[in-house]
C-alpha cells in the first residue's frame, strides 16, 4: 500500500529547508541582481544561516529514519523555493562527483574523491544529442596518458569547482570506430582553459561557464570505467529533482497569488462547484491541480527509485515523466499566476517575476522536454532509434 504520511524525520528535514528558505528570502532580490557579476558573494555560508546544520548533510546521517533517502531528498527540494542558495552549492553532491562515486575504482576515489567535480558533456554542436560530441581523447602509450582536445559549454559551477568529469571520444586504433570515454579533469592541468561565466535569464545562483581542452594531458588512470550510457545514466537520479526544484518555486508563487487574491477580497473556495466559482478562482484551482499532479509524478518516480534503484527500467521512464510533466506544468503555473496577478507581478517589489524566470530552465537542461517525451515514447511504444 502506498503511504503518503511523512515520518517525523521527513517532517523535520522539510521544516529545516523551509526555515532556511525563509531566512534567505530577504536577500533573494539582491543576490539575483548581483551574483553573476560578483560570484564571490555566494562563497561559503551566508551569515543569515551561520551555525545552522546543513539539512542535506543531516539527511545523509538520518536517512534510515526517513521514508527513504531519495524520497526525503525530493520532499526537501519541493519544500524550498530555492530563492537563494545560502550555502556554497547547497551542500549537494556535485554531478561529476556522483559519476566518480558510482563508477570510479577505489584508487580513483582516493585520488579525486575529495574534489568537487562538474559534469562536462554539452558542446557547441552537441546538446540534446550528446552522441554528436566532437571532443577527442587520444592515448599516448609512451607516457601512459590521454591527450584531450575539444570544448565544453554551459557547465554548471565549473567556475567554482575543482574540475570536471567529462566525456570525449577515444580515438580507436587503426581506424577503429571511436568509443566514448569518461575522464576526470582537474583544474590547473596545462591546456585546460576556463571560459567566462555566462549571465542568464534565471537561476542566477546557478553559475555557468565552460572549458576548452587544448592538448590536455592526463594520466591514463584518470579514465573511469564508465562508457557513454553509464555516465548519462546518472541523469536518471536528477530528472525528478529538476522538476521538484521548479515545483517548489511554483508553490511559492501559488501561495503568493492566493494571498494577493485574498487581499483583493477573493477567497479560494475549494468546495464550491464549477457553477459556484468565479473564472479567476477556477483558473487558480486548475493551476493548483496541475501542481498536485506533477508532485505525484515526482513522488512516484522517487518511490520507484527507492524500491528498484536508479538504473532500473521502470524508474528511468517514470523519472522522464516526472521531469517532462513537472517542467511543463511549472511553465504553465508561473505563466498563469502572472496573468492572474496582472502587471504588478512583473515588479521587482515581489519575487513573482523571479520565480517565473527561474523555472524556465527546468524544461531545457538535463534533457529538454522534447527529449524526455521521445524517451518516454520509445519506452512505452517500444520504438527504438526510429524516433529521434
Ligand X SMILES: Cc1cc2nc3c(=O)[nH]c(=O)nc-3n(C[C@H](O)[C@H](O)[C@H](O)COP(=O)(O)OP(=O)(O)OC[C@H]3O[C@@H](n4cnc5c(N)ncnc54)[C@H](O)[C@@H]3O)c2cc1C
Binding site for ligand X (CB under 6 A): 118-122, 127-128, 154-156, 203, 206, 208, 361, 364-365, 368, 370-371, 388
**Sign of the CA dihedral running 17, 154, 385, 362:** positive
- The torsion of the CA quartet 373, 375, 381, 382, rounded to 10 degrees, works out to 170
- Which residue, 118 or 337, has its beta carbon nearer to ligand X? 118
- Which residue, 277 or 354, has its beta carbon nearer to ligand X? 354
Nearest-angstrom CA–CA distance, 238 and 23: 26
Q: Which three cell numbers stand for residue 229?
A: 550510457
SS3 260: helix
- Which residue, 206 or 306, has its beta carbon nearer to ligand X? 206
Q: How far is the CB of 304 from ligand X (least distance, A)?
A: 24
- Which residue, 79 or 208, has its beta carbon nearer to ligand X? 208
Q: How far is the CB of 192 from ligand X (least distance, A)?
A: 16
Q: How far is the CB of 360 from ligand X (least distance, A)?
A: 9
- Which residue, 104 or 202, has its beta carbon nearer to ligand X? 202
Beta pairing class for 163-170 and 117-120: parallel
At residue 120, what are phi and psi to the nearest 5 degrees?
Answer: -110, 95
Q: How far is the CB of 190 from ligand X (least distance, A)?
A: 23
**Sign of the CA dihedral running 200, 320, 290, 250:** negative
Nearest-angstrom CA–CA distance, 62 and 256: 33
Q: How far is the CB of 48 from ligand X (least distance, A)?
A: 25
Q: Which three cell numbers stand for residue 282?
A: 477556477
Nearest-angstrom CA–CA distance, 218 and 67: 42
Q: How far is the CB of 121 from ligand X (least distance, A)?
A: 3
Q: Which three cell numbers stand for residue 352?
A: 513573482
Q: How far is the CB of 185 from ligand X (least distance, A)?
A: 13
Q: How far is the CB of 364 from ligand X (least distance, A)?
A: 5
Q: How far is the CB of 160 from ligand X (least distance, A)?
A: 12
- Which residue, 128 or 259, has its beta carbon nearer to ligand X? 128
Nearest-angstrom CA–CA distance, 353 and 363: 17
CB 321 within 8 Å of CB 243: no
- Which residue, 155 or 333, has its beta carbon nearer to ligand X? 155
At residue 346, what are phi and psi to the nearest 5 degrees?
Answer: -85, -5
Helices (H), 37-185: 55-62, 69-79, 95-103, 106-112
- The torsion of the CA quartet 207, 212, 215, 218, rounded to 10 degrees, works out to 20
- Which residue, 158 or 295, has its beta carbon nearer to ligand X? 158
- Which residue, 134 or 307, has its beta carbon nearer to ligand X? 134
SS3 74: helix
Nearest to residue 28, comparing CAs of 93, 103, 80? 80
At residue 151, what are phi and psi to the nearest 5 degrees?
Answer: -140, 140
**Sign of the CA dihedral running 24, 28, 34, 35:** positive
Amino acid at each position: 500500500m502506498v503511504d503518503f504520511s511523512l515520518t517525523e524525520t521527513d517532517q523535520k528535514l522539510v521544516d529545516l529547508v523551509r526555515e532556511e528558505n525563509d531566512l534567505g528570502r530577504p536577500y533573494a532580490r539582491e543576490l539575483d541582481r548581483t551574483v553573476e557579476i560578483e560570484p564571490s558573494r555566494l562563497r561559503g555560508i551566508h551569515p543569515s544561516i551561520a551555525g545552522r546544520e546543513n539539512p542535506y548533510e543531516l539527511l545523509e546521517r538520518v536517512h534510515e529514519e526517513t521514508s527513504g533517502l531519495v524520497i526525503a531528498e525530493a520532499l526537501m527540494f519541493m519544500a524550498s523555493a530555492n530563492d537563494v542558495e545560502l550555502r556554497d552549492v547547497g551542500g549537494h553532491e556535485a554531478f561529476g562527483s556522483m559519476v566518480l562515486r558510482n563508477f570510479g575504482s577505489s584508487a580513483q576515489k582516493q585520488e579525486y574523491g575529495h574534489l568537487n567535480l562538474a559534469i562536462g558533456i554539452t558542446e557547441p554542436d552537441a546538446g540534446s544529442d550528446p552522441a554528436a560530441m566532437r571532443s577527442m581523447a587520444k592515448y599516448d602509450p609512451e607516457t601512459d596518458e590521454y591527450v584531450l582536445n575539444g570544448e565544453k559549454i554551459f557547465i554548471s559551477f565549473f567556475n567554482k569547482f575543482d574540475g570536471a568529469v567529462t566525456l570525449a571520444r577515444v580515438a580507436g586504433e587503426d581506424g577503429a570506430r571511436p568509443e566514448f570515454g569518461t575522464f576526470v579533469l582537474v583544474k590547473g592541468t596545462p591546456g585546460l582553459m576556463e571560459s567566462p561565466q555566462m549571465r542568464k535569464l534565471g537561476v542566477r545562483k546557478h553559475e555557468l561557464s565552460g572549458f576548452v581542452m587544448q592538448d590536455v594531458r592526463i594520466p591514463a588512470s584518470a579514465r573511469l570505467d564508465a562508457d557513454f550510457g553509464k555516465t548519462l545514466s546518472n541523469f536518471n537520479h536528477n530528472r525528478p529533482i529538476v522538476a521538484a526544484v521548479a515545483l517548489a518555486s511554483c508553490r511559492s508563487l501559488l501561495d503568493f497569488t492566493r494571498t494577493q487574491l485574498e487581499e483583493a477580497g477573493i477567497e479560494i473556495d475549494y468546495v464550491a462547484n464549477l457553477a459556484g466559482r468565479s473564472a479567476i478562482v477556477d483558473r487558480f484551482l486548475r493551476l493548483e491541480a496541475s501542481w498536485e499532479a506533477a508532485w505525484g509524478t515526482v513522488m512516484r518516480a522517487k518511490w520507484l527509485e527507492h524500491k528498484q534503484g536508479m538504473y532500473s527500467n521502470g524508474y528511468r521512464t517514470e523519472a522522464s515523466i516526472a521531469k517532462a510533466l513537472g517542467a511543463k506544468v511549472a511553465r504553465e503555473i508561473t505563466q498563469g499566476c502572472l496573468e492572474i496577478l496582472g502587471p504588478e507581478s512583473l515588479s521587482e517589489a515581489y519575487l513573482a517575476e523571479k520565480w517565473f524566470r527561474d523555472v524556465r530552465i527546468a524544461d531545457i537542461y538535463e534533457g529538454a522536454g522534447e527529449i524526455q517525451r521521445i524517451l518516454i515514447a520509445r519506452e512505452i511504444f517500444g520504438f527504438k532509434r526510429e524516433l529521434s
